[in-house]
Structure 1
Amino acid sequence: MPASPSTARAINDRLALRLLQQEGSLTAGQLKQLTGLSRPTIADLVERLTASGLIAVVGEAGEQRRGPNAKLYGIVADRAHLAALDVRTEGVSVVVSDLLGKALAEASVPIGGDTGTGPAVEQAVALVERTAKEAGADRLHTVGIGAPGLIDPATGELRDSSGLPAWHRRLVAALQERLPEARVIVENETNLAALAEQRDGAARDRETFVLLWLGHGTGAAVVLDGALRRGASGGTGEIGFLPVPGTEGLPSATDCEGGFHSLAGSAAIAGLALEYGVPLAARGPEPMAAGLVRAAVETVQAGPGGARPDRPGAPGDRADRFLDVLADRLAIGAASVVAVLDPGCVVLGGEIGQAGGAVLAGRVGERLRRMSPLVTEVRAGVLGGGAVLRGALLTARDHAQDELFAPPER
């Protein structure tokens, strides 16, 4: 059955807007060429989108050209403002952007473990309001939040989860109350990191992959055939609870100690580095575990100052053995995921995955080749901890554009 005129207009409008988003400003002639639509259809489309305030003339294609085809059209970036939050156990980071995702203002605030729930929520909400004001945003259209823990697939809400501060769950409701006109969306941090690495990072050429999150805690995000898989209860990828050898016990339903988290969480990595005498090379606000991994990689890469078989106590040798043992640990978790899903690609994400770079990824990949018959490429994430904030912003932008780019019913 052929599409109705209103449906056809909606499809054409959305196609043109997506092209303007991807390609930047275009002339009517370029839109015609890229869409394959007729000249009259393009003219109507441009007039309709201009009248709706979604696009505007932003320049001309050439000084010598005249007429409608010479005008360059672009999306009106300040048609809507968006906010993205990365909610961590120890604080919150915020970025406010325009409709195209250009960052206009950024800020963060630490929130100590002894801060009460009410004050913690107020600090986080006030940070969002201040950042929006700094960005010149009178109102926020959509707010994307990345948080650790389980997201209920039925309600989209952050579920009560062991170890999470109470203010995490209160924050979503508080933001919705203080920003009643905004749409507030919450998603698991690892899922958002995978989205960011797929759009802008290490997995841009992959439709199927697993992101192994290595930050304060551990987690995994599963992308199959281009779609993020969340599972029946929203818990796909809770790899921190995976029972593994090498721990002193088993995890429980309320505590991941004894699971993969006990081998690969930041505290476990810091303890392993201490055992092997890896020195910390501080670099700004970098988390300690990531700094230790980076220091070990830099020591091994230092050439003559690296591993010395004739001097097993040398710093390079200790760093080399530390990275080997860490790779052994990471390969245990990665091999379990590979055996079940056969993703073909594992991305080591988070601050620790980025700090380990190709050196750590190569060692994990080497172990996977010995442990599994399934061919699996291991890559280092390139966005690090910033992937969560980037993924939250991409999610907010997608939701806002889906709403704004949908023409009203006629």
Structure 2
Amino acid sequence: MPASPSTARAINDRLALRLLQREGPLTAGQLKQLTGLSRPTVADLVERLALSGLITVVGESGEQRRGPNARLYGIVADRAHLAALDVRTESVTVTVTDLLGRERAEACAPIGGDTGTGDAVEQAVTLVERAAKEAGAERLHTVAIGAPGLIDPVTGELRDSTGLPEWHRRLVAALQQRLPRAAVIVENETNLAALAEQRDGAARGRDTFVLLWLGHGTGAAVVLDGALRRGASGGTGEIGFLPVPGTGGLPSATDCTGGFHSLAGAAAVAQLARAHGLTGAPAAELVRRAATGDAAASDAFLDALADRVALGAASVVAVLDPGCLVLGGEVGQAGGEALAARVADRVQRMSPLPLEVRPGALGGGAVLRGALITARDRAQDDLFAPAGRSGGEHRAG
């Protein structure tokens, strides 16, 4: 059944806007060439998008004669401002960008473990408001939050998780209350890191892979056939609870001590480094020094760390056969190719399934980058709807 004229216009508009977002300013002739649409159709959509305030003339092409055909059209970047948050156990980082993802403001604040829930929420919300003001944003269209813990696949809300601060869960509601016109989205931090690595980092070009997060905690994000898999309860990738040898115990339903976390979390990695004579820095820095040969006993330490990481990696491979494993987080990025090659070698000895192991390209910054991508995609889906139906008045839990 052929598309109706209004549906066809909506499809053409979105195609043109995506091209402008990806390629930058284009002339009507370039849009015609890239879309395959007729000249009259392109002229109509350019006029329609300009009238809706989504695009504007930003210059002229030097390769064409002056005049209408030389006009360069670009997306009105200030049509919407976005906020991305990386919420950690004792800190929050926020960046505010325009619709094209260009950073306008960034701020970070520690939130001590002894801070009360109400005070912690107020500190975080105030940080977002201050960054928005610094960015010159009259309002925020979309706010995307990356946080540890499980996201309910039905409601999209952060579930109550033992060991995580209560202010994490309260933050979403507080932002929705203080920013009633903004869409507020929350997503697991490891899932956002995987999205960022797939879009801009080590997993670019892969539609099936697993990101193994190695940082303060451990986690995994599973992407199969281009789709992020969350599981029935949102718990896919809770690899910190995976029972493994060498921990001296077993994890429980409320505590991952005794699981993979006890081998590969930052505290365990730092302890392993000390056993090899490496001290005086956080776990990620000790791993970086070892990986670059700037530390005594570096090979022995990396071998021992790879032995541990391979236990979790081999379990992932046996169940999912992802073909590609990205070592994400601060520790995964710090280990670089030296750690990735060691892990790949050990998994290949344990599994008949092929596996490529890559170091993460974005490290701890992947969470914030993934939150920004999520916010931008959400805003563009809203604003790049058919002319006259854009807005941004919808909220997500």
* Fold match (TM-score > 0.5): yes
Deviation at 1:319, TM superposition (A): 2.1
Deviation at 1:67, TM superposition (A): 3.1
Deviation at 1:225, TM superposition (A): 1.2
Mapping for residues 172-187 of structure 1, pairs under 5 Å? 172-187=172-187
Change in 2 beyond 3 A, CA 1:396/1:64: closer
Give CA-to-partner distance per residue, 1:219-240, whole Å, 9 cap, x none.
Answer: 0000111111111111110000
Q: Distance in 2 between matches of 1:241 and 1:102?
A: 38
Q: 2:287 is matched with which residue?
A: 293
Q: 1:126 is matched with which residue?
A: 126
Give CA-to-partner distance per residue, 1:121-165, whole Å, 9 cap, x none.
Answer: 000000000001111111000000000000001111000011100
Q: Distance in 2 between matches of 1:391 and 1:346?
A: 18
- Report if the CA contact (8 A) 2:94-2:131 is conserved: yes
- Report if the CA contact (8 A) 1:278-1:295 is conserved: no
The DSSP-based 3-state class of the residue aligned with 2:157 is coil
Mapping for residues 85-100 of structure 1, pairs under 5 Å? 85-100=85-100
1:150 is aligned to 2:144: no
- Report if the CA contact (8 A) 2:150-2:161 is conserved: yes
Q: 1:52 is matched with which residue?
A: 52
- Tell me which amino acid in the other structure corresponds to 2:224: L
Q: 2:109 is matched with which residue?
A: 109
Deviation at 1:63, TM superposition (A): 7.2
Q: 2:393 is matched with which residue?
A: none
1:369 is aligned to 2:348: yes
1:360 is aligned to 2:303: no
Mapping for residues 151-300 of structure 1, pairs under 5 Å? 151-280=151-280, 282=281, 288-298=282-292, 300=293
Q: Distance in 2 between matches of 1:325 and 1:162?
A: 30
- Report if the CA contact (8 A) 2:309-2:343 is conserved: yes
The DSSP-based 3-state class of the residue aligned with 2:211 is strand
Q: 1:29 is matched with which residue?
A: 29
Deviation at 1:66, TM superposition (A): 2.8
TM-score, structure 2 as length reference: 0.96
Q: 2:330 is matched with which residue?
A: 351
Q: Distance in 2 between matches of 1:15 and 1:69?
A: 20
Change in 2 beyond 3 A, CA 1:72/1:263: same
Q: Which runs of 5+ in 2 are unaligned?
A: 390-397
Deviation at 1:64, TM superposition (A): 5.9
Q: Distance in 2 between matches of 1:170 and 1:23?
A: 39
Q: Distance in 2 between matches of 1:68 and 1:340?
A: 58
- Report if the CA contact (8 A) 1:242-1:251 is conserved: yes
Mapping for residues 63-74 of structure 1, pairs under 5 Å? 65-74=65-74
Q: 1:139 is matched with which residue?
A: 139
- Tell me which amino acid in the other structure corresponds to 1:74: G
Change in 2 beyond 3 A, CA 1:90/1:27: same
Q: 2:394 is matched with which residue?
A: none
Q: Distance in 2 between matches of 1:319 and 1:23?
A: 44
- Tell me which amino acid in the other structure corresponds to 2:217: G
Q: Distance in 2 between matches of 1:359 and 1:297?
A: 6
Q: Distance in 2 between matches of 1:68 and 1:14?
A: 22
Determine what percentage of the aligned residue pairs are the same residue: 81
Q: 2:363 is matched with which residue?
A: 384
Q: Distance in 1 between matches of 2:150 and 2:72?
A: 45
Regions of 4+ moved over 4 Å = none
- Report if the CA contact (8 A) 1:279-1:295 is conserved: no
Q: Distance in 1 between matches of 2:66 and 2:48?
A: 21
Q: Distance in 2 between matches of 1:105 and 1:62?
A: 33
- Tell me which amino acid in the other structure corresponds to 1:369: Q
- Report if the CA contact (8 A) 2:49-2:387 is conserved: no
Q: Distance in 1 between matches of 2:162 and 2:260?
A: 16
Root-mean-square deviation (CA), in Å?
A: 1.2
Q: Distance in 1 between matches of 2:19 and 2:290?
A: 45
Q: Distance in 1 between matches of 2:326 and 2:313?
A: 10
Q: Which runs of 5+ in 1 are unaligned?
A: 283-287, 303-314
The DSSP-based 3-state class of the residue aligned with 1:26 is coil
The DSSP-based 3-state class of the residue aligned with 2:363 is coil
Q: Distance in 2 between matches of 1:61 and 1:236?
A: 49
- Tell me which amino acid in the other structure corresponds to 2:287: V
Q: Distance in 2 between matches of 1:352 and 1:65?
A: 54
The DSSP-based 3-state class of the residue aligned with 2:290 is helix
Q: Distance in 2 between matches of 1:81 and 1:207?
A: 29
